[in-house]
A and B are shown apart, each in its own frame.
Chain A
């Protein structure tokens, strides 16, 4: 069976897949031209954009999984904040142990690994719980995660009575942990390395595995998948669970980047994450999208944040622009889809 490459709708679909990279390129050129001394294009600044986008990239991969099933997880910001806080508190309680064993532990990387594993497990449990609300109690994802968003935000304030947690206790665990958000290796920032790995794993999972195929299938037609023997409930649990893991990882990265855990961290972050995902061409109703597009969406937002700040716009002005970008992305997507039909 020959492939009909001249098919117009296919061409349009491909344009939609890669058009986002054209937009990214134009944006970079625009900031290059408008910033003083082309400062935006300086290599340190470009690395900076990557570093600033890393946490968003990680969270956006998690959100992509969820949105592909036709769902959404608004609790992303809360989970980020909560997991960062739990990691910081764990570090503090490990440092507070006075025994020699704890002394040894305090100075080893494996304790940091243990802390990360614990926090990621917490993220997984959070996601599985969210999925249970959606699949067992049949609460629409938007409402279910609106609830968990509030619960998560409240919980993190409760944990510390609204205080932030700083590294006033020393210990290698903290240092290792913060490498994820603030360190670097061969002059590549740690968060960029982590984000790269997450993106590659996400791309593999979505586009090369049975799980990924089912995920797309569920987003397109859940009932058909169920009748074809796909365990929809389990796939959804796993999806929200994995998203939770990734959000928790982003939370630990955020802790590293900030240097302290703040109960109000990542407030409103869901806007950025959903914008990046939709900008990247993932259909908000599920079933369509590609990880590469999401990466481009993340970088566009990162470039906007960085470039607009360089052009000395205020954060509230940037917020308005980002909101408009989200709406424009969705509108463009609808228009292209209509002309493809």
Chain B
């Protein structure tokens, strides 16, 4: 078990693509077993039984788990007909061996993100992979799912399968890996056993500078932050997405965290508040005034903002320029009779890009050209520009490197000081514990507990979140 770590843009994904055969190296050779290759192609990579599980999952939603597991190399009957019974049987065996409760004939669309991750691994096992490359397998998972996946990965190790494993969560590196390679700016800066390596040293190797106790800690609140009156009050919220009777409040300057497993109702709550999903009941009050947004547009007008779960498909408009993305929510105010005033757009974008410490080649560069962390900063800057009174954040730092994460945290601290109410949903418990004042724990689409962050522990949260 070998871990590969490094900041975003350090070259991890490039290395993965080389192994998958998606791109060819410009120099050097790839040695698999006894043989050395100048380059791998996707076909050769598969023939060598290398199985790459990418960050973005590549499952076919409309097929069953078994059909996905054997897709492209189905066992056949009479050479033509897929042997569904054999597929289902073999898949169920693998699932059971891994100790996960998924049915082989379940439609993949019905599974949670965490379960899909396991299916990806089963897919590899189904064709007898010798090397697994897992690109940030745990990024979208909840702690419980991470634990389950780790168990699965350990099981792989027992079978004598090699695993190359990429993660931003250093704890996993220490828990799982035998050896670790650190990449920085496309170069290998460290390779060695995990044992005897201090967490602090690993972080320093990754970022090339000392970030102190970085990783999942957050900067302290500004000393002059004051908790104000209740800013957002939610009573009996329910929505078509399944959440029922969600009630809580957030005060001005307060940071409230939504904890829970994937599918527990955190994302659904944020989306219902923002009117991205249809509400079926409940009452919202903002600064004491009743609110009934029926579209994100109305929610924004009232002072709510949402940094959505997936920055690539819901947050940033990747092919459009940075400046336009930052100004998107307030564009109408930067125009005269509908005609844009480019100077004002630029000035506004530059101002808020600086506030989130955005690193971009230019405001005219497409967002796609930025690293994940900076893409997320673009989305955050958009809402700073909109100047909302309540900011809802869904997985604000998923898949984002340590440095950018700290800068996002700092921007959130600034917002708190300015009296913005923050609601943060995150799968990273350390992140929630470091950032928030209070935690609401979700289970099965309902709030099952409220905890004061300073007086709780990850164990207590997990007790509530998992059954």
- Chain A residues with a Cβ under 8 A of chain B: 1-4, 7, 204, 208-211, 213-214, 216-217, 220-221, 223-231, 287-288
Option from B274, B301, B362, B382 in Cβ contact (under 8 Å) with A3? B362
CA separation between A61 and B338, bound complex, in Å? 19
- Contact (A220, B297) CB under 8 Å given A4-B362, A209-B340: no
* Given the contacts A1-B363, A3-B362, A224 and B324 also touching, CB distance less than 8 Å: no
Give B385 Cβ to nearest chain A Cβ, in Å. Answer: 11
| A253 CB to nearest chain B CB (Å) | 26
In the assembly, what is the distance between CA of A229 and CA of B305, in Å?
9
Shortest Cβ gap from A12 to chain B (Å): 13
Query: In whole angstroms, what is the CA distance A209 to B335 when docked?
Result: 8
Residues in B neighbouring A211, C-beta threshold 8 A: 338
Q: Decide: A220 and B318 in contact? CB cutoff 8 A.
A: yes
The 8 closest A-B pairs by CB, nearest first: A229-B300, A229-B297, A228-B328, A221-B317, A220-B317, A220-B319, A1-B362, A210-B335
Tally of A-B Cβ pairs under 8 angstroms:
86
Residues of A within 8 A of B320 (CB): 216-217, 220, 287
Q: Can you give 29 A-B contacts (C-beta < 8 A)?
A: A1-B363, A2-B361, A3-B361, A3-B362, A4-B362, A208-B339, A209-B338, A210-B331, A210-B332, A210-B334, A210-B335, A211-B338, A213-B328, A213-B331, A217-B317, A217-B320, A221-B316, A221-B318, A224-B313, A226-B276, A227-B306, A227-B314, A227-B315, A228-B329, A229-B299, A230-B297, A231-B297, A287-B319, A287-B320
Smallest CB-CB separation from A13: which chain B residue? Answer: B366
| A226→B340 contact, CB < 8 A | no
Instruction: Count B-side interface residues using an 8 Å CB cutoff.
Output: 35
CB distance from B343 to the nearest CB of A (A): 13
Q: Give, as a whole number of angstroms, the nearest-CB distance from A11 to chain B.
A: 14
Contact: A210 with B297, CB < 8 Å? no
Q: A223 and B313 in contact (CB under 8 A), knowing A1-B361, A217-B328, A228-B296?
A: yes
With A and B bound together, what is the CA distance between A288 and B382 in angstroms? 22
Given contacts A3-B362, A210-B331, contact A228 B382 (CB under 8 A): yes
- A288→B308 contact, CB < 8 A: no
**Complex contacts, A4 vs chain B, CB 8 Å:** 361-362
Q: Given contacts A220-B319, A221-B317, A288-B319, are A226 and B296 in contact (CB under 8 A)? A: yes
Q: What CA separation (Å) do A3 and B318 show in the bound complex?
A: 18
Alpha-carbon separation in the docked complex, A216 to B318 (Å): 11
Whether B328 and A1, one on each chain, are in contact in the complex, defined by CB atoms closer than 8 angstroms, is no
A231–B324 touching, CB < 8 Å: no
Shortest CB-to-CB span from B265 to chain A, Å, is 19
Contacts of A220 in B (CB 8 A): 317-320
In the bound assembly, the distance between CA atoms of A211 and B301 in angstroms comes to 18
With CB as the reference atom, state the residue of chain B lying closest to A221.
B317
Shortest beta-carbon distance from B270 to chain A in Å: 11
Tell me the minimal C-beta distance from B412 to chain A in angstroms: 19
The smallest beta-carbon distance between A263 and chain B, in angstroms, is 38
| Cα-based distance from A208 to B295 in the complex (angstroms) | 27
B233 CB to nearest A CB, Å: 22
Q: How far is the CB of B82 from chain A (nearest CB, A)?
A: 30
Chain B residues positioned under 8 Å from A3 (CB to CB): 361-362, 364
- Residues on B with C-beta less than 8 A from A216 are 320
Residue B360 interfacial (CB < 8 Å): yes
Give the complex CA separation of A225 and B328 in angstroms: 8
Q: Which residues of B contact A287 (CB under 8 A)?
A: 319-320
Task: Provide the residues of chain B in CB contact with A225, threshold 8 Å.
Answer: 317, 328
Contacts of B332 in A (CB 8 A): 210
Known: A1-B361, A3-B362, A3-B364. A210 touches B317 (CB 8 A): no
Question: Bound complex: CA of A69 vs CA of B382, how far in Å?
Answer: 22
- Give B421-437 interface residues, CB cut-off 8 Å to A: none
A223 touches B362 (CB 8 A): no
With A220-B319, A221-B317, A224-B314 as contacts: A213 and B297 at CB distance below 8 Å: no
Interface residues of B in 316-375 (CB under 8 A from A): 316-320, 324, 328-329, 331-332, 334-335, 338-340, 360-364
Question: Could you tell me the distance in whole angstroms from the C-beta of A117 to the nearest C-beta in chain B?
Answer: 21
Cα A299 to Cα B319 with chains together (Å): 28
> CA A208 – CA B299 in complex, angstroms?
27
Q: Are A210 and B276 in contact (CB under 8 A)?
A: no
Distance between Cα atoms of A230 and B367 in the complex (Å): 19
Q: Which of A7, A210, A230 contacts B340 (CB 8 A)?
A: A210
Q: How far is the CA of A223 from the CA of B362 in the complex (A)?
A: 25
Report the nearest B residue to A218, measured CB to CB: B317
B317 & A224 in contact (Cβ 8 Å cutoff): yes
Q: Smallest CB–CB gap between A32 and chain B, Å? A: 38
The smallest C-beta distance from B237 to any residue of chain A, in angstroms, reads 19
Residues of A near B360 (CB, < 8 A) are 1
